Structure 1
């Protein structure tokens, strides 16, 4: 058969999941690896940076000094639902079975996390407060891509193009592709706060971050429909492994035949000479030429040893293709931990409260615990950088009246200074910036209503964006209320949603295929929250 020597397919077709980190669609607000919505208070009013309530155990530890003496406790559950959609346009996708000849194909991942618990606990006595909080401070649950991702299907879609270029008419491919990613960073924080004066308080804290990621995926049953007189004369769909195995077997048989002729002392004889001697027909030379991808005249001038070696190479090439299109499976868990130092300052006078918090960069690695890895990307025991970037948080609250309060805040994530796998931080221009605003109104003695929003401006560049990890500009809105069931017990309810800007990325070398292609990245996010505050 004609040789298949396209250099692109000399590389293994593998699950390209997570050469960096497969970023599960975050079900939270915040930076690339930081979740800031650690309580239902945030969902109904995101501008909590200068909070002086119990949720300040996370947002503003220094502000806890303005609580009443005693214990204060808050428990929240959030239910988050998110989609991540990549609309891809690539020539190869026109050959996807069932895609009706369209070069456009959609890859969609869904994340549903009905239970996301968090809590804050504080004890205040005079000027001193000890507090703790727990939540999912990074990641965002589990995302499932039932049809895989464009980054590895695009490689498979090249099969019909490559085979057709070699004279083997091929017009379709199919693949069973699946990817599931789960990414959590559990954060346990301990703080100590002290009121230095009537107006000024400080807080220090440490957060233990425990990472637990899991990735499961497969590429199976890659099939194509090559029309070949010996291997697939009807041009029906067949497993790609069977096709390339047949090509390998045929080339090996031919190489053995030529080795037999060589062993009879004709290794230096050309095929043309063998035809003249009646040992071979011209039709056989033409067939050998076709298998080597050369003209009949060129083949006729080749000696037997060269023809044999040529078919040894063709056989090895097709064996490599067979292995490339074989089933690939992945099952890997990653774990690691790191500690974040935290400093907090608070200034309060009259109806005005100002706060600042700085979280230092958290250096950590995650280690692979691999059960199955046919990709070669997740060797068991290998460590990967997974730093959590430093965070600067600024906030202000102002009581306009006894019943009405407004708030504003700012976050900056120093993503460019956090080490990521494959040095991906070099594709971030400074880091993410967030601008927050909110308001609360005490409608009655029992009922508080609140509303707020967040504007996020991603600092990533075009080179950062892939279907496995992308960040989008967005705005979020949250609203809800709190109801005093008793003087000691309060119920909180909230709804929070995020609207993302699409990001279009066009490449002249789409996923390494050498052909142009375009991805349009999009997301949706909705979160419901319920919680209680209790003091005693």
Structure 2
């Protein structure tokens, strides 16, 4: 019988970001982003992240503080079509659904402005931020199990059904603390230099348990236990043949016993529980230009070299990548942000923006960056209307375009081009305090991946990926 390898596959590549941005970057750090989106030319407190050079044009000197909270909820649905799935439920197509949630994601912004200098800081979840749970596992797990009846039927005719208890949960969080300084060089021009320290905290938990098949067309029984018992019987028969002087028969039975024992070992329960941690620093540069009704901001975040190290609680998956102490590359790609805003009339402002993530230059586990065609591009636009002196309404749109090959996409980690929309309001409840509220959602395209060798099984299969994403947010800005 051909060798089967059952494992909790590629868990360290899970991407569970519940926010806007590139493959590993959250760009919605402030509620002003949720309700406007195009913040690359901001001169408000959210600029501490989105356009730090723009802080030189804050409307007053002194301390500026902002506290924000977001709640994000995402689903991922994979329709997987693979003929052997018929053996468990009778249908070639199975639906695997995962839910990711981040009920409370806080962020803190602070800045101290003098006439020409601004010293700022920012703390937030810079990447990831949620937990994704697949209670029924994934096709990449089950497709391996689904091959068992086909393989066993060669020696055990009538075997055509299977069952398995599978589960996967992953969490990925990148905490970021950014500090820097902005200098207003002229009436119209300012510059920023800063650094963000990133700390990665991941956990991946999953299992494949109680793998069963209807061997010889009987009822479903545990495959590992069946072959373990069969191995013992064959050993006994081998020993008896040896005592009878039937050396050739004894050796054949012993070989069959070893094969049965190997199958029993391969089909035993598999489990993984591993934490991964690491840190890296991101240098950040920025410039801002202001002239009359125009504001233009540019920010460049350099590539962050980062490795994560395994702290393994249990790993019976057979995959050495998850063993204790193993290091894996987990770079955060460099980012170019360009934004512009124009005050059309005193009560109406329009803004646009562009992000480019240099994903191909960021090292990933198993060299996955080689399967990226080009970096991620984002195009943004927004409007803000001062309805009253104390109330604003705003809305924005973002187009995100990935350029990824089929080899990059899998049911464990997939990124899909999308349109995102944000709406919200701001209320000045005092001369020094403003409240922002917003709702942000994303409409994802479908992505279909059809391959001739589905998850290494040698048989054709198709995956259709889609997602949903909703974010609610509220925040308070205060000037001392």
1:332 matched residue in structure 2: 274
- The offset of 1:140, in angstroms, is 2.6
2:53 matched residue in structure 1: 62
Q: Are 1:95 and 2:84 an aligned pair? A: no
- The offset of 1:312, in angstroms, is 1.6
Q: Distance in 1 between matches of 2:474 and 2:51?
A: 21
Q: Distance in 2 between matches of 1:169 and 1:258?
A: 29
1:14 matched residue in structure 2: 7
Which residue among 347, 353, 371 is the counterpart of 2:289?
347
Higher alpha-carbon deviation: 252-261 or 391-400: 252-261
Which residue among 182, 197, 205 is the counterpart of 2:186?
197
Q: Distance in 1 between matches of 2:329 and 2:106?
A: 27
- The offset of 1:241, in angstroms, is 1.5
Q: Distance in 2 between matches of 1:205 and 1:388?
A: 16
- The offset of 1:227, in angstroms, is 2.2
1:450 matched residue in structure 2: 394
Q: Are 1:508 and 2:452 an aligned pair? A: yes
Q: Deviations over 1:191-234 (max 9, x none)?
A: 10000001000001100000000011111111111127xxxxxx
1:113 matched residue in structure 2: 102
Q: Distance in 2 between matches of 1:525 and 1:417?
A: 27
CA contact (8 A) 1:479 1:496 kept: yes
Q: Deviations over 1:126-180 (max 9, x none)?
A: 1000000011001131111101111111100111111123343112211111111
> Any idea what SS the aligned residue of 1:464 has?
coil
2:71 matched residue in structure 1: 79
5+ residue gaps, structure 1, are 229-234, 263-303
- The offset of 1:329, in angstroms, is 1.3
- The offset of 1:436, in angstroms, is 0.5
2:227 matched residue in structure 1: 244
> Any idea what SS the aligned residue of 2:186 has?
coil
Which residue among 210, 231, 238 is the counterpart of 1:255?
238
CA contact (8 A) 1:62 1:346 kept: yes
Q: Distance in 1 between matches of 2:286 and 2:248?
A: 76
User: Structure 2-normalised TM-score?
Assistant: 0.98
> Any idea what SS the aligned residue of 1:253 has?
helix
> Any idea what SS the aligned residue of 2:148 has?
helix
1:289 matched residue in structure 2: none
5+ residue gaps, structure 2, are none
Which residue among 367, 370, 375 is the counterpart of 2:317?
375
1:299 matched residue in structure 2: none
> Any idea what SS the aligned residue of 1:485 has?
strand
1:41 matched residue in structure 2: 32
Which residue among 309, 317, 334 is the counterpart of 2:251?
309
Q: Distance in 2 between matches of 1:514 and 1:449?
A: 55
Q: Distance in 2 between matches of 1:418 and 1:305?
A: 59
- The offset of 1:261, in angstroms, is 2.0
Q: Distance in 2 between matches of 1:401 and 1:204?
A: 33
CA contact (8 A) 2:105 2:129 kept: no
1:419 matched residue in structure 2: 363
Q: Are 1:31 and 2:14 an aligned pair? A: no
Give 1 or 2: higher strand fraction: 2
2:207 matched residue in structure 1: 218
Q: Distance in 1 between matches of 2:4 and 2:213?
A: 18
2:478 matched residue in structure 1: 534
2:351 matched residue in structure 1: 407
Q: Deviations over 1:335-354 (max 9, x none)?
A: 00000000001000000001
Work out which of the two has the higher radius of gyration on C-alpha atoms and give 1 or 2.
Answer: 1
Q: Deviations over 1:223-264 (max 9, x none)?
A: 111127xxxxxx1111111211232123222222221122xx
Q: Deviations over 1:304-363 (max 9, x none)?
A: 433322222211111111111111111110000000000001000000001110000000
CA contact (8 A) 2:336 2:355 kept: yes
Q: Deviations over 1:25-53 (max 9, x none)?
A: x1100000110000111000110011000
Q: Distance in 1 between matches of 2:208 and 2:282?
A: 38
Q: Distance in 2 between matches of 1:462 and 1:166?
A: 36
Query: Aligned-residue CA RMSD in angstroms?
Result: 1.1
- The offset of 1:442, in angstroms, is 0.2
Q: Distance in 2 between matches of 1:112 and 1:430?
A: 29
